[in-house]
Structure 1
Amino acid sequence: MTTFVDRVELHVAAGSGGHGCASVHREKFKPLGGPDGGNGGRGGDVTLVVDQSVTTLLDYHHSPHRKATNGKPGEGGNRSGKDGQDLVLPVPDGTVVLDKQGNVLADLVGHGTSYVAAQGGRGGLGNAALASARRKAPGFALLGEPGDGGDIVLELKTVADVALVGYPSAGKSSLISVLSAAKPKIADYPFTTLVPNLGVVTAGSTVYTIADVPGLIPGASQGRGLGLEFLRHVERCSVLVHVLDTATLESDRDPVSDLDVIEAELREYGAGLENRPRLVVLNKVDIPDGQDLADLVRPDLEERGYRVFEVSAVAHKGLKELSFALAELVAESRAAKPQEEATRIVIRPKAVDDTGFTVTREEDGGEAVYRVRGEKPERWVRQTDFNNDEAVGYLADRLNRLGVEDELMKAGARAGDGVAIGPEDDAVVFDWEPTMSAGAEMLGRRGEDHRFEAPRPAAQRRRDRDAERDEAEQAYDDFKPF
């Protein structure tokens, strides 16, 4: 049964926002008390949070689909819907978040570090929030936005100061068991260690963590054996320790050739491993043949510039010197790292000519289609109930005020041309008809209810109506594209 997982594909979905409510206040002797529809609640987020008590991604291996709750719709009486509950997913320290293409989205290191993997949708506004001096009784409300969703990949890279690397059965697990309180599984056959083991070592005033990385073999950097599965656990380590077996029973191996093979794999893998400080441990010198071989190869290793330590995990020989040497390297590495700066807020103002949307001309079967892309237009489309004519008119007004109609004219759009708002796979397409500067004013001012206005004399109403008609006709002549 699998007990350790360090790479999973997770399917996350945030909650959708609740729809706004279109309602009119009614009570005895007040049949038209005004709009009182409440706003919809916000959808819940999906957030990854580093938790020190979590050491594996096993839970997400068994249950890869995670979804936050939706926001509740608004109600009459100015009652807003309840927000959806955020879904918090605990992950181990050192978890890297990637998209399906392998691009890094977040690197979560340090207890409490968080990343919003999927953001909940906004709740739709009710008609009470849409009311204004000009639109006193909106007969519509905005829809809630759908929450973000998609697939992400979680990879665990062990956070440790020292990594023990070497061939299978070189004695790495035995070494970490005597240097720290860790109790890994130990046996005399290759690939006993199938998961990284972590231990905490105290040497003088320095406390550091040490990781036992599963055995590497030739071709590990290309994925042979357990190579790529665990080479990434070495990436965060500050110091590398080559554990060489001086008592191997394989006739075609010796400590120097083992070192050359592992060094070649580290260089091939990259990630800056070739530049990490390192030292060499000649293990199993308690065996007579092991001590003889250690005496034979030590001069060659020291000639290459390595610091060499002869140890025996069984006889507890040379462990104190090794632990203090590692503490010295770890302290130097920590001192060399730049001091963490205080949190900075980076302000990136928009360009003065940034309209917030783009209009591009495309060809579809020989016919021109003008595609509108931008955060606001696409969000407004998602919030619109296209079964409500008044809501569609409100969308037209918003797009017009944003300047979409002017940009369509500049791009050469003519009446009847296709206009698509949104990406190709999820766009709203319609035939464009030029409107007035305030959005189809010839049809009357949308969202107004004259029953809420004080009565006017009949002559005044006729004069106002004639003036509005003349203004609309003049505006239409001014904005005709041909």
Structure 2
Amino acid sequence: MATFVDRVVLHATGGDGGHGCASIHREKFKPLAGPDGGNGGNGGSVIIQVDPQVTTLLDFHHLPHRHAPSGSQGMGDHRSGSTGADLVLGVPDGTVVKAPDGEVLADLVGVGAQYVAAPGGRGGLGNAALASPRRKAPGFALLGEPGESHDVILELKTIADVALVGFPSAGKSSLVAAISAARPKIADYPFTTLVPNLGVVQAGSARYTVADVPGLIPGASEGRGLGLEFLRHVERCAVLVHVLDCATLEPDRDPLSDLDVIEAELAQYAGDIGIEGGRTPLAERPRIVVLNKIDVPEARDLAELVRPELEARGLRVFEVSTASHEGLRPLTFALAEIVAQARRDAPQPENTRVILRPKAVDDAGFTVTKRESGGQVYYSVRGEKPERWVRQTDFSNDEAVGYLADRLARLGVEERLFATGAVAGDEVRIGPDHNAVVFDWEPTLITGSELLGGPRGTDVRLENHDRRPTRGEKRHEHKERMDAKAAARDELWTERESGVWTDPDRD
């Protein structure tokens, strides 16, 4: 079973907002005391936050689907629904959040840094909040919005000042164990190190961290071996240390060729430019060469032989032995000097600025586009407000649909449809094509208080003539029939008295 995971795909879903409540306050002597439906609660959001106690992404490897709690529904007597709690997911320091296409969404560095991966849905308004002087007792409420769902990639890029790179079995783990308190696994076979190891080094008053990256081989930047999986852990490092094995027994290897191979792999690796510490390519960062295992006589002779050529390339060279600790003290102080200089040269973090981007005066907040699909012309309406209003509308309630039509008309959607060339009966789609609300457009000719005289939950523009009449409608219809019969009887009696029905043959 894997114990170290540094790359996972997270499927995050925010909580749904609670529905608003449509209720009328009733008590003794006050049968219709006005609307008192409460608002629905907002859904919780999925938040990714740096936690110092978390060192791996293993939890997300086993449980990649995370869903925040939903808000509850509003109730009568002006009782609002409860808000869903945010789901905070702890990640290690240095985690990078990416979109599925590779775009860097957030670089989480520092305890408490967070990113909202999936916002929760907004709760719907109750009929008490929808009441107005014209619409005193709405017979509907708004639905809660569903929470957003996003897939994000979490990548852990270790935060260290110094990165040790080199071929397998070059002695990187032994070097970390010799200069710090870390105790990585050490053995005499390749690829002993399967996960990055971190160690803290104290050199005088300076303190810095060292990362031991699993061994690299030719083609690591293209995915061979373990290089591609762990090269991301050196992207934040200020200095690279090439650990070269001077006691290798392989006939086709020597310190100079090993250095050339590793340098070529680092130059070909394309990291993330947008992250902190990743703006400088790996091949352009300060480098130090460590000739290791000089406790072996043949290795010491080889180190003395190749050192002049390495120094001729402009590299600082240190001959060390992790077994006898020879040469380790000068190495640690040299690394402390480079790290201190890198920290001084690093740009100072700027204070967070609040940037206001006001919308243009002619920006209506939505667009109307004429499109064609399968030989059929339709009009697509896209915009934050129209799409949100559609999601919050209960289409089984005629009054709610009429309220939506009024809102769209006030926003200017109908005027834009007219300007785009739409006529009555054309197909209109509001929202994305895969989840749009489709209807045949009928322009709103009348709006306002003249439409509010019907029963709650109805709209005269959407009347269904097959519905059962109300008691008042039945009484009114019966009265009209009785009046019509009385008028007919009076007319017949008047005609009889005037002699219209007199038989001319009878005298």
Q: Do these two structures clear the TM 0.5 threshold for a shared fold by scoring above it?
A: yes
1:47-126 to 2 correspondence within 5 Å? 47-126=47-126
Does residue 333 of structure 1 match 2:314?
no
Q: Secondary structure at the match of 1:285?
A: coil
Structure 1 counterpart of 2:429, one-letter code: A
Whole-Å Cα distance in 2 between the matches of residues 15 and 207 of structure 1? 44
Aligned mate of 2:402, from 393, 397, 418 = 393
Whole-Å Cα distance in 1 between the matches of residues 6 and 446 of structure 2? 58
CA separation of 1:367 and 1:442: change in aligned 2, threshold 3 A = farther
Whole-Å Cα distance in 2 between the matches of residues 433 and 41 of structure 1? 34
Whole-Å Cα distance in 2 between the matches of residues 434 and 270 of structure 1? 56
Q: Is the 8 A contact 1:394 1:446 kept in 2?
A: no
1:192-341 to 2 correspondence within 5 Å? 192-271=192-271, 272-341=281-350
1:98 Cα deviation from its structure 2 partner: 1.1
Q: Is the 8 A contact 1:16 1:121 kept in 2?
A: yes
* Equivalent pairs, count: 448
Q: Is the 8 A contact 2:13 2:148 kept in 1?
A: yes
Q: Secondary structure at the match of 1:37?
A: coil
Q: Secondary structure at the match of 2:386?
A: helix
* Superimposed CA distance per residue, residues 61-82 of structure 1 (whole angstroms, 9 cap, x where no aligned partner): 1111111111000000000000
Whole-Å Cα distance in 2 between the matches of residues 107 and 338 of structure 1? 16
Gaps of 5+ in 1: 450-482
Equivalence for 2:416:
407
Q: What is the RMSD computed on CA atoms of the aligned residues?
A: 1.3
Equivalence for 1:471:
none
1:150 Cα deviation from its structure 2 partner: 2.4
* Superimposed CA distance per residue, residues 413-461 of structure 1 (whole angstroms, 9 cap, x where no aligned partner): 000000100000000010111113647x764568989xxxxxxxxxxxx
1:367 Cα deviation from its structure 2 partner: 2.7
CA separation of 1:123 and 1:447: change in aligned 2, threshold 3 A = farther
CA separation of 1:421 and 1:428: change in aligned 2, threshold 3 A = same
Whole-Å Cα distance in 2 between the matches of residues 446 and 19 of structure 1? 24
Q: Is the 8 A contact 2:51 2:112 kept in 1?
A: yes
Whole-Å Cα distance in 2 between the matches of residues 199 and 146 of structure 1? 46
Whole-Å Cα distance in 1 between the matches of residues 401 and 270 of structure 2? 56
Equivalence for 1:16:
16
Whole-Å Cα distance in 2 between the matches of residues 344 and 442 of structure 1? 50
Scaled by the length of structure 1, the TM-score of the pair is 0.91
Equivalence for 1:454:
none
1:347-358 to 2 correspondence within 5 Å? 347-358=356-367
CA separation of 1:147 and 1:32: change in aligned 2, threshold 3 A = same
Q: Which moved more, 1:275-284 or 1:200-209?
A: 200-209
* Superimposed CA distance per residue, residues 281-305 of structure 1 (whole angstroms, 9 cap, x where no aligned partner): 0000011111011011001100111
Q: Is the 8 A contact 1:186 1:192 kept in 2?
A: yes
Does residue 44 of structure 1 match 2:44?
yes
Q: Is the 8 A contact 1:310 1:318 kept in 2?
A: yes
Does residue 369 of structure 1 match 2:378?
yes
CA separation of 1:446 and 1:262: change in aligned 2, threshold 3 A = farther
Scaled by the length of structure 2, the TM-score of the pair is 0.87
1:439-454 to 2 correspondence within 5 Å? 443-444=451-452
Q: Secondary structure at the match of 1:176?
A: helix
Structure 2 counterpart of 1:403, one-letter code: G
Q: Is the 8 A contact 1:138 1:447 kept in 2?
A: no
Equivalence for 1:26:
26
Q: Is the 8 A contact 1:52 1:93 kept in 2?
A: yes
Structure 2 counterpart of 1:158, one-letter code: T
Whole-Å Cα distance in 2 between the matches of residues 29 and 247 of structure 1? 99
Structure 2 counterpart of 1:47, one-letter code: I
Structure 1 counterpart of 2:354, one-letter code: I
1:99 Cα deviation from its structure 2 partner: 1.5
Q: Secondary structure at the match of 2:434?
A: coil
Q: Is the 8 A contact 1:400 1:437 kept in 2?
A: no
Q: Is the 8 A contact 1:184 1:197 kept in 2?
A: yes
Structure 2 counterpart of 1:16, one-letter code: D
Whole-Å Cα distance in 1 between the matches of residues 422 and 454 of structure 2? 25
Whole-Å Cα distance in 2 between the matches of residues 426 and 64 of structure 1? 25
Whole-Å Cα distance in 2 between the matches of residues 146 and 338 of structure 1? 42
Aligned mate of 1:428, from 437, 442, 464 = 437
Does residue 139 of structure 1 match 2:139?
yes
Q: Is the 8 A contact 2:127 2:140 kept in 1?
A: yes
1:53 Cα deviation from its structure 2 partner: 1.4
Gaps of 5+ in 2: 272-280, 458-507
Q: Is the 8 A contact 1:6 1:155 kept in 2?
A: yes
